[in-house]
Chains A and B, each alone.
Chain A
Amino acid sequence: MALVTSDNHGLRLAARYATLSLVALIFLFPLVFMVVSSLKPDQQLLADTSSIRAFLPVGDISLDNYVKAFERAPIGRFMANSVFVTVTTVLMSILLCSLAAFSFVFLDWTGRGALLSVIVATLIIPFETIAVPLLLLVSKLPWIGLEGLETGWLNTYRVQIIPWIADALTIFLFVQFFKDLPRELIEAARVEGASWLTIYRRIVMPLSGPVVATAAILKSLTMYNNQYLWPLIVVQDEAHRPVMVGLGYFFQLQIAWGEVMAYLTLISVPVIAFYLVLQRAFISSIASTGVKG
């Protein structure tokens, strides 16, 4: 009987792993296709799309597409711009949104519930509806820089960073997480005479690793992958362009698909690396907050 049970267990385990492997393969196929295609000349790439060869590094394999991609566009500059804008925005966003959430959850002030509702309600407003008013605003805003007072934020990093620091989703994530923290900790700290800022810095944030990871991943994906329309309309000089606008360099009359795949592979590296570093915290946060990215 014990032998039968063990066999059943083994079969179930095998079935489970087979299913999981299949699902993993489905998710991996696009990435494999992208990387493999980036190594093939265009004619072979297009011919292989109708067979399993599309996912196999076979035929005339080389790094030529990468060489040509670097010749076609300043990829290093675009990636550096995107990484700088993303990292800066994410860091400032985590700081400001967590402070806002801290205030909503732990401080007692009139209207906080209503204001939080209004902030969360902004989630339903698509960015496209506010893009033009925001463009008109930032084109007239003053700025004090190294060269003194300037007017207009166009063609700068700040115009790609500042409007994206505070957002409803990140505040909401922090609010939900902070609500589940043990109140006793906060009250004990208050009794001991700790200031609100000390509680935020010494108690709340050290306990918020999972939500910080979630917010960082979601925000960085938004900033790195989805920043197309906004930089397109506020950044005209090449020196400040991010990777998504740079993708347009590869869509000429005759599209060089191999180079497109090479470019996509290159710009995916920071995103995948960032996710791999934070994946444990991300999964833990999903389990605790129920948020799906």
Chain B
Amino acid sequence: MTLTKTTLGALAASTLLAGGAAAQTDLSLWYHGAGNEVESNILNGIIADFNAAQSDWSVSVESFPQQSYNDSVVASALAGNLPCILDVDGPVMPNWAWAGYLQPLPISEDAIEGHLESTIGRWDGEIYGVGLWDAAVALYTRDSTLEALGLRRPTLEEPWTKDEFMAALDAAKATGDYDYPLDLGTAWTGEWYPYAYSPFLQSFGGDIVDRSTYDTAEGALNGDAAIAFGEWWQSLFAEGYAPGTSQDPADRDTGFIEGKYAFSWNGNWAAATTLEGVDDVIFLPAPDFGNGPIIGAGSWQFGVSSACEHPEGAAAFVEHALQDKYLAAFSDGIGLIPGTKDAAQMTEKYAEGGPLAVFFDLSAEQSLVRPVSPGYVVAAKVFEKALSDIANGADVADTLDAAVDEIDDDIETNQGYGH
């Protein structure tokens, strides 16, 4: 009898425990950070906190290598196997929303108040994703280089003009102390090209596509401003200002630190390493080529997949993850720019007076997101090829015309991508 009572008691207790555990509805999350231990640990901490802080939802994460993440998601969408919460790169988000992989994220405007605008993924009047951080690009140089070359230190309010920028390169070239005056990072391929170089085009007055309609690249990518940009771009390589597309990746990683280049166009993710190797490194704003100084923007965001049956649960998780302490933890851990000013003040490097604080200001003041269009994923590849060809000596006008044709064909094939 005692045994029966004990057994029944144990059964009742286990049922209650199981019932308690089952009350949390499972939400799967896919993330692009496999192999990055620091990033994974922070995310796992956020998830553990969220799961413990409430009883409705339980998030479980599956991490993927970043380089193959998008392919895995697209394949899973085809196979009808998407998770609930998706990590999505900012410029890719409109394509996934348009393709039906994402549904709007039911998050309140209050929850994203004070966040860098570039961390909010908007498409078709709806919020589809929110990011915890952004990235920014700056012109790296040494304080001693500016002094030696007798150059004015540009500021956010008064960046270098095109003439000042080219004069700086000429001055560096004339010293004969450098392999090249400027490192643009052409050894990196893929999304780096549109992210890092299309802001030059936009500062000249062109763009990858016409943002007023998003139904053509005509005029934007092959108009007078774009051709002026293309000729300038080509001259950087033809006249020995920058290493071409065959730049040694090792030089990209360490060339500036070793003194091979006077200036380097690089992202904030490389700043910590550079600070360790160069005592007097400074980060300058983008030059103004005529239409304002511009840098790229938009990084990874959390969104809700169309297959998710509990978007409110996904939104609850995203709101939880957007707390300043987590933004600061990510920033301290992986070096990216926290999404809010308050979070920046909690970090070691982005707080006011910190060594990387300038990147937060650059992101807030100079950033322009890449074209917000489902067609961007194709246009980006076309743009990359065109710039690579021009760097290698292709005719500027012909190359840009061909790029416009290719982008326009794709837009037409996809019936305007819903614009």
Q: Which residues of A contact B (CB under 8 A)?
A: 43, 46-47, 49, 71-73, 132, 135-136, 139, 152, 154, 232-234, 236-238, 245-255
Asked whether A248 lies within 8 Å of B62 as measured between CB atoms, the reply is no
Per the CB 8 Å criterion, the residue count for chain B at the interface is 28
User: How far apart are A293's CB and chain B's nearest CB, in angstroms?
Assistant: 27
Asked whether B250 lies within 8 Å of A254 as measured between CB atoms, the reply is no
- Evaluate whether A248 and B35 lie within 8 angstroms (CB atoms) in the complex, with A236-B62, A254-B269 already known: yes
Q: Which of B64-79 contact A (CB under 8 A)?
A: 64-68, 71-72, 75-76, 78-79
Binary A-proximity of B23-38 (CB < 8 A = 1, otherwise 0): 0000000100011110
Across the interface, which residues of A come within 8 angstroms of B66, CB to CB?
248, 251-252
Cα–Cα, bound, A201→B387 (Å): 62
Cα–Cα, bound, A248→B36 (Å): 11
Q: Which of B10-59 contact A (CB under 8 A)?
A: 30, 34-37
Cα–Cα, bound, A186→B79 (Å): 48
Across the interface, which residues of A come within 8 angstroms of B270, CB to CB?
253-254
- Evaluate whether A248 and B68 lie within 8 angstroms (CB atoms) in the complex, with A234-B75, A253-B269 already known: yes
New contact pairs (7) apart from A47-B254, A232-B75, A248-B67, CB-CB < 8 Å = A46-B253, A154-B81, A232-B72, A236-B76, A246-B65, A253-B269, A254-B273
Asked whether any CB of chain A lies closer than 8 Å to the CB of B247, the reply is no
**Chain B residue at minimal CB-CB distance from A249:** B35
Interface of B is mostly: helix
Q: Which of B99-138 contact A (CB under 8 A)?
A: none
Asked whether B36 lies within 8 Å of A252 as measured between CB atoms, the reply is yes
User: How far apart are A86's CB and chain B's nearest CB, in angstroms?
Assistant: 20
Cα–Cα, bound, A152→B78 (Å): 13
Cα–Cα, bound, A225→B65 (Å): 18
Asked whether A248 lies within 8 Å of B34 as measured between CB atoms, the reply is yes
Pick 30 A–B contacts, CB within 8 A, sort by A.
A72-B35, A72-B37, A73-B34, A132-B78, A135-B79, A136-B78, A139-B79, A152-B81, A154-B79, A232-B71, A232-B72, A232-B75, A233-B71, A233-B72, A233-B76, A234-B79, A236-B62, A237-B62, A238-B34, A238-B62, A245-B65, A248-B34, A248-B64, A249-B35, A251-B65, A251-B66, A251-B67, A252-B35, A254-B270, A254-B273
Asked whether any CB of chain A lies closer than 8 Å to the CB of B418, the reply is no
Asked whether B68 lies within 8 Å of A254 as measured between CB atoms, the reply is no
Cα–Cα, bound, A72→B63 (Å): 12
Asked whether any CB of chain A lies closer than 8 Å to the CB of B80, the reply is yes
Cα–Cα, bound, A33→B7 (Å): 65
Cα–Cα, bound, A176→B75 (Å): 38
User: How far apart are A269's CB and chain B's nearest CB, in angstroms?
Assistant: 21
Across the interface, which residues of A come within 8 angstroms of B273, CB to CB?
254
The 8 closest A-B pairs by CB, nearest first: A248-B65, A249-B35, A233-B75, A139-B79, A46-B250, A248-B67, A253-B269, A248-B68
- Evaluate whether A254 and B75 lie within 8 angstroms (CB atoms) in the complex, with A139-B80, A154-B81, A236-B81 already known: no
Across the interface, which residues of A come within 8 angstroms of B36, CB to CB?
252
Across the interface, which residues of A come within 8 angstroms of B78, CB to CB?
132, 135-136, 139
**Chain A residue at minimal CB-CB distance from B82:** A236
User: How far apart are A162's CB and chain B's nearest CB, in angstroms?
Assistant: 16
Across the interface, which residues of A come within 8 angstroms of B254, CB to CB?
43, 46-47
Across the interface, which residues of A come within 8 angstroms of B269, CB to CB?
253-254
Across the interface, which residues of B come within 8 angstroms of A236, CB to CB?
30, 62, 64, 72, 76, 81
**Chain B residue at minimal CB-CB distance from A232:** B68
Across the interface, which residues of A come within 8 angstroms of B63, CB to CB?
238
User: How far apart are A214's CB and chain B's nearest CB, in angstroms?
Assistant: 32
User: How far apart are A85's CB and chain B's nearest CB, in angstroms?
Assistant: 18
Across the interface, which residues of A come within 8 angstroms of B76, CB to CB?
233, 236
